[in-house]
Amino acid sequence: MGKGFVISKAVGIVLIVVGAAAVATIIALSVVYSQEKSKNNEVKPTTTTTTSAAPTTAASNEPWDQWRLPQTLSPQSYNVTLWPRLQPDETGLYIFTGMSSVIFKCVEETDLILIHSNKLNISETVLTAHGSNPAPSIDSIMMYTKTQYMAIHLKGKLTAGESYELYTKFVGELADDLGGFYRSEYEENGVKKVVATTQMQATDARKAFPCFDEPAMKAVFHITLLHDRGTVALSNGAVKDKVNITEDGALLTKTTFEPTEVMSTYLLAFIVSDFDYIEQIDEKLQIRIYARQEAIKAGQGEYALNVTGPILRFFEDYYRVPYPLPKSDQIALPDFNAGAMENWGLITYRETALLYDNEISSNANKERIVTVIAHELAHQWFGNLVTIRWWNDLWLNEGFASYVEYLGADEAESKWNIKDLIVLNDVHRVFAIDALASSHPLSSKEEDIQRPEQISEVFDTISYSKGASVLRMLSDFLTETVFTQGLQTYLDHFKFDNTVYTDLWVHLQAAVDKTTHDLPKTVQEIMDRWVLQMGFPVVTINTATGQITQEHFLLDPTTKPDTHQSLTMSGLYQLDGQRQEQKNPQNGYYRKLIKKMTGKQMQMSGFWPTSMSQDTTGLTMIMKTGNAYLVFSRHPQSIPVINRAQIIDDAFNLAKAGHIETTLALRTTLFLSEETEYMPWESALDNLDYFYLMFDRTELYSPMQAYLGKQVKPLFEHFTDLTGWTDVPLGHTDQYNQVNALRVACSTGLKNCTDLVNGWFQQWMNNPDVNPIKANLRSVAYCSAIAAGGEEEWNFAWEMFQKTNVATEKDKLRAAMACATQPWILNRYLSYTLNATLIRKQDATSTIISIASNVVGQSLAWDFVRANWEYIFNQYGGGSFSFSNLVNGVTK
């Protein structure tokens, strides 16, 4: 789209109501698209005491009733040895045993050692002093299960300035609960296999060994793993030594790892498996991709290996800090709760986020893999080398990685224009959530985020997507050069240390001050408005008087947000940092904008595209009536693609909030019959989905189907001509839109489409060994055929689901089986989600959500979740993402 394209890559909207009232409205989350370029004198042990459970007491001010550790002790280094058992014991329990020593410094005199420990049975505790004075003896040891502490009460005091060593020996369960040190199971060549693996973030390192489990309690970790001979042990550091030993009659290998850098506990990882790997030595740096042997043999790790090196080099350059470790391992696990985890030097992934099969996986799978890899690699510096002090600043960590993942992925797949997609994937997505009265500001107070479940809650769309959106805006208005300069000094200054988010503002400000860049306010002043307040404003401009007013944009204007978190009205948001008094818009940004909008050009039919391509603010406009709207519908192709997508999304948001008529929003979809680009289509389909769910049982359903069918037909024909449904379009987003064409044409009942797709599926059923359906089109084809079919089609899909060895293919079938239209089939499928042999725990909630998003399944899923609430809550209530997603998904 040439020059206009770059400038228009923006979100934000100007709604001009042309006519008597002459009032214009702007939703001003001005996320302007960035222009990318660019041991010692040990004293004899004191005591060994058995531990006992502490009485449950009412809340008190005792340190063990507090959720945060006292600042009396500071860990320096740990020596942790763990032995996970990959076979169950006589009672059928999977366990791990371990011992751990932590050397800590006493900062402030105390007679209490408080250290995190959760679900560990501790059998030995020894305290020694490293100084000349002996350690005080242990009085009692109490386990506080609620606050997850082991409290060691001493008979005397620890001396400030002295170092001590606390040794513990313990047993824990290697449960299949996806948290802490846990087990994952799978079958290979008919043999059941068990992997011992970890997920520490946010508060589960304490489930693997007793530790000071807070991100600012950084230390050096010496890790040793004992494991069955023939299995592979991995951890954050490189292998230092490997010897065969015999322990308790078991033939084992003892793998010792190089000590880690100074790091946080939540970034630790320990894995024992019989996985295989592929590797690449990239300028001395060893890059390895680990997965199940079958997956590696089938080449599924190759894509990840191909893109990792270039992305790492990109970030080294972007941060101006070399990759801080000697190796980078990435491993795909059959059971994994989140998408991936950035453990330092040993990144863990869900299989679908790392493994790619050339024949079977789609381009959407590929995009997910490259963006997740880029996200996790970005954290190796931003998050791991420099770490937030406490979880209330998580948005900075996750928002940042969610922004730069697009930059890293763009490096690996430069032809995809992937940076555009942040608009759909993050900006539009978070608009819908941040416009609710129940939203919350990016920043939370440290004291409000205390308990593990409160910490879990911070991992939400606001932290990820709004965080990404505002940081992208910041990078854009500072310019990327200034942004990266500030970032570079920030990383260098705080390496191996912890920060609060305003530390980044300080470094960005310093970078600004070194330039002649004209910033009317400080970085902090500008960003406070986006960080400390929830939501975003809608700005109304009276084009006759020039008067500007703004209010909190709420999808439901009758709701009242929490007052202490809501916007205060006047002058709080500026697109460019210029203070804009409500009644005094002279010389301000909006003033200039109004001039532009009300200027002579306004009358010209050619105004829009021209104006937009000159408007570096990236605002787009919707005209309610008159010429301007005609411009839009007559020459939609002259409006840049992203703006076409935005106009639709903004119009629907304004309509939902009652700022404009719904018919006007719907009118923005009129031009789809001439549209072949992905972004506008996707934006429209996302918004129309809402109508589908709302109108499915009303008389509007059928006219809507007919209308959408009419709009999509030319697109279907376009791709029929272009590809004959056997070729793959060249462009990445064209491939996505080919899928949209097929999906919408089939779901609106276009016979040529349903015939085509059902034919493919029948062909496959007739010869299950040869799947004739193109990888990109499989999700849609499966869904369509299963929706049209009955038990036979569903059972076939189930059989293929169980048989396939490719995780991305499993996911496609799993989602498609939720497209069935017979309630009994859906109910049976729902019941499968309670049985981990049928549907893995990691997939249970997303399967229920898929069923809930099927019009037929909506009420079934709702009934099912309520009927099984207790069980589901116990199983999934603890995980960071899955439970809130579930509630969200089934109530949508």
Ligand X SMILES: *[C@@H]1O[C@H](CO)[C@@H](O)[C@H](O)[C@H]1NC(C)=O
* Binding-site residue positions for Zn(2+): 375, 379, 398
**Nearer to Zn ion (CB atom), residue 329 or residue 398:** 398
**Nearer to Zn ion (CB atom), residue 54 or residue 401:** 401
3-state SS, one letter per residue, for 779-842? HHHHHHHHHHCCHHHHHHHHHHHHHCCCHHHHHHHHHHHHHCCCHHHHHHHHHHCCCCCCCCHH
Give CA–CA dist 750/797, Å, rounded: 23
Give CA–CA dist 166/146, Å, rounded: 22
Q: How far is the CB of 173 from ligand X (least distance, A)?
A: 4
Give CA–CA dist 270/256, Å, rounded: 12
**Nearer to Zn ion (CB atom), residue 27 or residue 487:** 487
- According to the binding rule CB under 6 A, does residue 723 interact with ligand X? no
Give, as ranges, the residues between 89 and 118 that touch ligand X (CB under 6 A).
Answer: 95, 99
> What is the binding site for Zn ion (CB under 5 A)?
398, 401
Give CA–CA dist 736/678, Å, rounded: 7
How would DSSP label each residue in 338-377? Answer: SSEE--TTEEEEEGGGT---TTTS-HHHHHHHHHHHHHHH
Give CA–CA dist 459/705, Å, rounded: 37
Q: If contact means CB under 5 to 8 A according to the sort of partner, which of Zn ion, ligand X, none does residue 752 touch?
A: ligand X
- Percent helix, strand and coil across the chain, each to the nearest 5: 45, 20, 35
Residues written for the chain: 892
- According to the binding rule CB under 6 A, does residue 855 interact with ligand X? no
Tokens of 158: 């620890």
Alpha carbon of 670 to those of 313, 470, 595: distances in Å? 45, 31, 30
Active site includes 480?
no
Residue nearest to Zn ion (CB): 401
Q: Which of 261, 376, 682, 793 is catalytic?
A: 376
- According to the binding rule CB under 6 A, does residue 367 interact with ligand X? no
- According to the binding rule CB under 6 A, does residue 297 interact with ligand X? no
From the list 149-157, 240-248, 519-527, 604-612, the region that binds ligand X by CB under 6 A is 240-248
**Nearer to ligand X (CB atom), residue 122 or residue 508:** 122
- According to the binding rule CB under 6 A, does residue 79 interact with ligand X? yes
Q: Which of 692, 632, 648, 611 is nearest to 854 (CA)?
A: 692
Q: Which of 257, 217, 230 is nearest to 76 (CA)?
A: 217
- According to the binding rule CB under 6 A, does residue 414 interact with ligand X? no
Give, as ranges, the residues between 581 and 620 that touch ligand X (CB under 6 A).
Answer: none
Q: If contact means CB under 5 to 8 A according to the sort of partner, which of Zn ion, ligand X, none does residue 668 touch?
A: none
Identify residue 348 by its one-letter amino acid code: T
Number of chain positions touching ligand X (CB under 6 A): 25
**Nearer to ligand X (CB atom), residue 254 or residue 592:** 254
**Nearer to ligand X (CB atom), residue 433 or residue 836:** 836
Q: Which of 302, 457, 480, 528 binds ligand X (CB under 6 A)?
A: 302
From the list 504-512, 576-584, 785-793, 835-843, the region that binds ligand X by CB under 6 A is 835-843
- According to the binding rule CB under 6 A, does residue 121 interact with ligand X? yes
- According to the binding rule CB under 6 A, does residue 76 interact with ligand X? no
Give CA–CA dist 750/597, Å, rounded: 43
Q: How far is the CB of 440 from Zn ion (least distance, A)?
A: 19
C-beta separation of 848 from 884 below 8 A: no
**Nearer to ligand X (CB atom), residue 99 or residue 510:** 99
Q: Which of 41, 244, 246, 874 binds ligand X (CB under 6 A)?
A: 244
- According to the binding rule CB under 6 A, does residue 754 interact with ligand X? no
Listed in sequence order, the residues at least 6 apart from 338 whose beta carbon sits closer than 8 Å to its beta carbon are 199, 350, 879, 880, 881
Q: If contact means CB under 5 to 8 A according to the sort of partner, which of Zn ion, ligand X, none does residue 632 touch?
A: none
Q: Which of 3, 68, 155, 242 binds ligand X (CB under 6 A)?
A: 242
Listed in sequence order, the residues at least 6 apart from 429 whose beta carbon sits closer than 8 Å to its beta carbon are 461, 465
Q: How far is the CB of 685 from Zn ion (least distance, A)?
A: 28
Q: If contact means CB under 5 to 8 A according to the sort of partner, which of ligand X, Zn ion, none does residue 61 touch?
A: none
Task: Tell me the β-bridge partners of 180.
Answer: 199
Tokens of 474: 């910041």
Listed in sequence order, the residues at least 6 apart from 283 whose beta carbon sits closer than 8 Å to its beta carbon are none
Q: If contact means CB under 5 to 8 A according to the sort of partner, which of Zn ion, ligand X, none does residue 401 touch?
A: Zn ion
From the list 199-207, 298-306, 321-329, 661-669, the region that binds ligand X by CB under 6 A is 298-306
Q: Which of 402, 354, 347, 308 is nearest to 201 (CA)?
A: 347
| Binding-site ranges for ligand X (CB under 6 A) | 79, 81, 95, 99, 121, 171-173, 222, 229-230, 242-244, 253, 302-303, 306, 356, 358, 717, 752, 835, 837-838
Would you name the residues annotated as active-site residues?
376
